[in-house]
Amino acid sequence: MGMQMGFRWYGEGNDSIKLSDIKQIPGVTSIVWALHNKMPGEVWQEEEIAEVQKALAPYGFNMDVVESVNVHDDIKIGLPSRDGYIANYIQTIRNLAKFGVKVICYNFMPVFDWTRTDLFHPVGDGSTALYYEADKIHDDPKEMASYILNNMHGLTFPGWEPERMAKLDELFEAYRPVTKEKLWENLKYFLEQLMPVCHECDIKMAIHMDDPPWDIFGLPRLLVDAESVDRFLAMVDDPYNCLTLCSGSLNANPENNVADIVRRHCDRIAFAHIRNVKHFPNGDFSEASHRDCDGDTGIVEIIKAYHDGGFDGYIRPDHGRHLWGEGPGNVRPGYGLYDRALGIMYMWGIWDMLDRLDAAK
Ligand code: DNO
Ligand code: MN
């Protein structure tokens, strides 16, 4: 069957990109979606899911992949209240199953989702991309939060919403007892409750890699390299406990070899994110076009590893650059139309050629 191509879309009225535009990108069959108005811990109701189904139906897109159903902090911290939130998560899984959802992407990062210092950094050819400047990362999360709020063009990005930032002290206090080992335990507890339901519903849980893949502000991060991926898969050794293997997140650390991880665990990767990253000597990195030589992630080798592994899961271009008039005010950082569409054609180019070579063997 081969890889199944997806495109992340933020929903009617919430994304400037139209489904009719996505329809024109060759080979896209899945819309990667979410109910973005939902707070972590809330149950996703059937009527709300049905709305998305209704929007996708005229275009023939499936809704097989959700990114993300976010995990409530109490589950990550391991508070007694976690059981109630896990019960809600299970109800959401059951509701999603009624609509044929196959994969749920989520992450287990404390407090923050991905972190960058510049959302529209010039790449040098007139386009811009997400950028991480090591020197601009403040040790103090409050300073960091105010830097972010002042430099993100009035945008909020997941985990860094002003309402959450206002409660930063409380959140950090709550996470104080959560060591890295404790966080692993809490992740295990969460997944073990979910697995029987995932089997019943035929839905895979696919954890996203931590981005960037190292501890920040003294908060532990788990999914950071090959060793931690091994540990994660062995910890809950179940075919429904899977990865969202994000090439760019992992490769922010140049030591990580993403193609190796694909070769090792292809059958446990439910969802592949293809993102290219370029490194600079002082620890800075920029996101780049998907073309192999524009970054250091090894995109050709990664796609080849998926192909060799007989990958038939879901894949999507991850963050792209902002091109051809896309910029602050008209595009979600990293989620423009054009560069992701170019990335898809690049992936198909590699994939189709590998198919052809196999057929000629
Ligand atoms: C993905 C990023 C993240 C991701 C979440 C998954 O590449 O854009 O925001 O969606 O971490 O939970
Ligand atoms: Mn990703």
Task: Please give the share of the chain, as a percent, with pLDDT higher than 70.
Answer: 99
- pLDDT interval class at 105 (50, 70, 90): very high
- Among 35-44, 156-165, 190-199, 339-348, the minimum mean pLDDT is found in 156-165
- pLDDT interval class at 83 (50, 70, 90): very high
- Calculate how far, in angstroms, residue 226's C-alpha sits from the geometric centre of ligand 1: 19
Q: Measured from the CA of 273, which atom of ligand 1 is nearest? A: 7
Summarize the confidence of residues 309-335 as an average pLDDT: 96
Nearest alpha carbon, ligand 1 atom 2: 114
- Calculate how far, in angstroms, residue 318's C-alpha sits from the geometric centre of ligand 1: 9
Residue 112: what pLDDT?
82
Mutation probe of ligand 1 site: the residue of 8, 67, 224, 335 with most atoms within 8 A of C-beta:
67
The 10s digit of each residue's pLDDT in 115-125 is 888 999 999 99
Q: Measured from the CA of 70, which atom of ligand 1 is nearest? A: 12
pLDDT beyond 80 at 11: yes
Interface confidence, given as ipTM, is 0.94
Class of domain 4-360: alpha beta
Q: Measured from the CA of 106, which atom of ligand 1 is nearest? A: 12
Residue 36: what pLDDT?
93
Residue 271: what pLDDT?
98
249 alpha carbon, closest ligand: 2
Contact 286, 332 (CB under 8 A): no
pLDDT beyond 80 at 277: yes
The 10s digit of each residue's pLDDT in 188-240 is 999 999 999 999 999 999 999 999 998 888 889 999 999 999 999 999 999 99
The 10s digit of each residue's pLDDT in 141-191 is 778 778 877 877 877 666 777 777 778 888 889 999 999 999 999 999 999
Alpha-carbon gap, residue 110 to 73, rounded angstroms:
7
- Calculate how far, in angstroms, residue 205's C-alpha sits from the geometric centre of ligand 1: 14
